[in-house]
Structure 1
């Protein structure tokens, strides 16, 4: 079959770009857990979160003041709600659960339900497709996370505290579905500016109400803030939305299964945490689960009967009919027949 160089190279470049963005997302999202661990002994969670968003919001607002973007009122209102759910609600649930005695393992395991819940709800809400193979991959991902965090699955917290990470998970799912359903038109940095601003207001009010707004002088606190602002928020949270927009809710959410293994490896490298054979098996299980989900046909690719092969044939036919695809010479009948196969 005759194909133009551009037709064959474009999907390859797109796949490499997607893999690079996905890898960067997993690493930077996982840094949020490392930052939380760095600052855990220096200040309460409300103080750490308040200053995370005060710093992040200040930087983003300064950038916005220089650019002077025009944000439609509808998009402003939507991103206020998305930020309140995806950053305020999600982070408060995760951090508050830890403060009330929920172990990191249980916290991670409950929030690991997010990809499965998001993928299932994206079917009726967004019209995305989920195949049986993908559903099996999502379920296997939960099992892999359970193996990764198996050494820290302990009780001791009051029963109501276990609802906090579940509420956090539902907040992130709600923010994701809302953004995809309404499709605000503003760019990513403008969206992050609005979301950081509302989160700064929420967590500043919370920290002020509990008397914990004043930051400590401990260098560990400011190191944690730097990690939470740079890699975790501007990197991880920003790349989360990039992945959602590029590949859909289900496939992007599946990458979250790789964050507990990445966090575990980071904690081992930085804090000397123990790696057990069971947790290493969990790493492999998570990787296999994500591979199953991502290798399945993209959501919605067959809604109109045009799967990946049909779309590729269509592109090749168009290229065959375009003289520019053949260096300016008109396509011969033989080339047309070959391209239509």
Structure 2
């Protein structure tokens, strides 16, 4: 049997059906979407718990349980922990986890309206962008500035309904700003000093336990350390541990390793409207037309900033 010279055998691999793999861009957006859902979900856990315990006690049990859950993995998996790394990660935890909670919580206790507190904490992505210029030499282009400006406007529109001036002492209004700046600085330090970074499960374990230690001291000062026994409290703690702490902070650090700090920050502009949607779905809270308009403006800004964004170290 002879074979026609004009007939060519195709490689076996070329005869297989092509499987279209998801693009890297799709994977990045899935990561950012998961981060957004987990980051904004902390509101749900807090709603379940604050009726039974002060925020410092909630934060203590939330971070303690998260740290204990991660501890076996941190000890058995990954590189051997060095004292310097543990100390640095412990400081990161105090500033990143405890700083924002304390700043916002104490401000509210002093009488700062929650709308102002939320608005200041929602400016975290803008702080990351502004601080990234001197800290890590990031270059922000015109298109990205336009997107960031739109995103900020969207947050202002969405938050306008809850914004009013309170009668708290002047120094209390600086606390949410300081808490927001603390987590922004930690975010950029982890970009600036990659030698201090551990695998996600190890760093998150150390940060959770260090912040739990701080909240334990504050709970002792308040005279209450034992948790409530109500099932709703523990349901809220479980939610905070799995979604807000392990999910939210874990995905936040994963995204920081893979993407630029401004791109990670940009997606967090959607956290306020996402939180409002959580409240609407879970608790039937109002969702006004202003919130819808703000969400649309913010989403447009995030898309523009992400399209033009990039990290260009000097």
TM-score w.r.t. the length of structure 1 is 0.81
Judged with a 3 Å threshold, the aligned counterparts in structure 2 of structure 1 residues 172 and 157 are, in CA distance, closer, same or farther, namely farther
Pairs aligned (count): 294
Superposed, 1:153-302 pairs within 5 Å as 153-158=163-168, 159-183=170-194, 184-300=196-312
Distance 1:124 1:65, change over 3 A: closer
Point out the more displaced range, 152-161 or 16-25. 152-161
In structure 2, relative to structure 1, the CA distance for the partners of 1:72 and 1:65 (3 Å cut) is closer
The gaps in structure 1 that reach 5 residues or longer are 1-8, 304-341
What is the CA–CA distance in structure 1 between the aligned matches of 2:53 and 2:83, rounded to whole Å? 37
C-alpha contact 1:105 1:153 (8 A) present in aligned 2: yes
| 2:136 matched residue in structure 1 | 126
Shift of 1:214: 1.6
Deviation by residue 1:36-75 (Cα, 9 ceiling, x = unmatched): 1221211111110111111111111133344474123332
The TM-score with structure 2 as length reference comes to 0.88
Q: Secondary structure at the match of 2:311?
A: coil
Q: 1:33 aligns with which of 24, 39, 43?
A: 43
Q: Secondary structure at the match of 2:41?
A: helix
C-alpha distance in 2 between matches for 1:115 and 1:64: 29
Deviations 1:224-270 (A, max 9, x none): 11111110010111111111221111111111101101100000111
CA distance in 1, matches of 2:37, 2:167: 29
Give me the whole-angstrom Cα distance separating, in 1, the residues matched to 2:141 and 2:92: 28
Instruction: Give the Cα separation in 1 of the matches to 2:304 and 2:78.
Output: 44
- Residue aligned with 1:149, SS: helix
Mark the CA change 1:68 to 1:285 in structure 2 (over 3 Å): closer, same or farther: closer
> Unmatched 5+ residue regions in structure 2?
1-19
Relative to structure 1, the CA distance from residue 96 to residue 223 in structure 2 (aligned partners, 3 Å threshold; closer, same or farther) is farther
Superposition map of 1:306-325 within 5 A? none
Note the alpha carbon deviations across 1:131-181, whole angstroms, 9 max, x for none: 122122222222211111221112334133221210111111111111111
Alpha-carbon spacing, 1:103–1:38, altered in 2? closer, same or farther (3 Å): farther
Whole-angstrom distance in 2 between the partners of 1:66 and 1:182: 25
Equivalent in the alignment of 2:63: 53
Are 1:111 and 2:97 matched, yes or no? no
CA distance in 2, matches of 1:47, 1:121: 32
Alignment partner of 1:139 is 2:149: yes
Show the counterpart of 1:43. 53
Distance 1:135 1:265 in 2: 27
